[in-house]
Homo-oligomer: A and B are copies of this chain.
Amino acid sequence: MSTRDRIIKSAVNLFMQQGVAKTTTKQIAASAAVAEGSIYRYFPSKDGLAWQVFKEYHQHIAVQLQQSVSQDINLEEKIHSLVSCFLKMADEDWLMFSYYLTSQHTHMKSVTEDMLTPYQVLTEVVEQGISTGGIKNIEANVITAMVMGAVHQIVINKIYSRIKGDLYVHRKLISKTIAAMVRIEACHYE
């Protein structure tokens, strides 16, 4: 494990336990068994470290999601692929995944238009669904939000210990539920 990776792992671990602000560079250095100064050879600052780690993983997730649906044609298949991919990633690197989810609010302002995001991948799938007629409801942003939230909260509730064990086992139920969500027809506002 490289020095850089040791720093990342130690940092994310501490960030999750205490938050970025309450985590000191001294703690990170001690946990990674490097000198405090060494952090600055790989990252511009503590906040820069927090951001860079978020950004890399954020984009990693987006790429994985995009690849997971690349072969699918059918909407239901796409949903299943996305959900499965998402849950598998959460199970496989729980530390990074939970850090990604809980630190979103902090970093979202810094996400620029040119970056590929999970939200964009999902939006694209939904919009394709609308254009091909599989999705009747035309309020894409509301649907997309609800779908994304539904899956996110599964992970968040595991962080809060309201759900235990691997999440991948729930992929069918979750996919089915989401399939039902997108099938809803548009409402006429009174």
Binary interface profile of A, 143-170, with partner B (CB < 8 Å = 1, else 0)? 1111111111110110110110000011
Q: Which residues of B contact A159 (CB under 8 A)?
A: 105
Interface residues of A, CB < 8 Å — how many? 46
* With A173-B186, A181-B150: A141-B119 Cβ-Cβ less than 8 Å: no
The secondary-structure label for the interface of chain A is helix
Q: Which residues of B contact A184 (CB under 8 A)?
A: 173, 176-177, 180
Q: Which residues of B contact A177 (CB under 8 A)?
A: 143, 146, 181, 184
Query: Which B residue sits closest to A175, measured CB to CB?
Result: B187
CB of A73 within 8 A of chain B?
A: no
| Cα distance, A183 to B180, chains bound together (Å) | 9
Which of B22, B137, B154, B181 touches A181 (beta carbons < 8 Å)?
Answer: B181
B142 touches A154 (CB 8 A): yes
Which of B119, B137, B153, B156 touches A173 (beta carbons < 8 Å)?
Answer: B137
| Cα distance, A77 to B186, chains bound together (Å) | 19
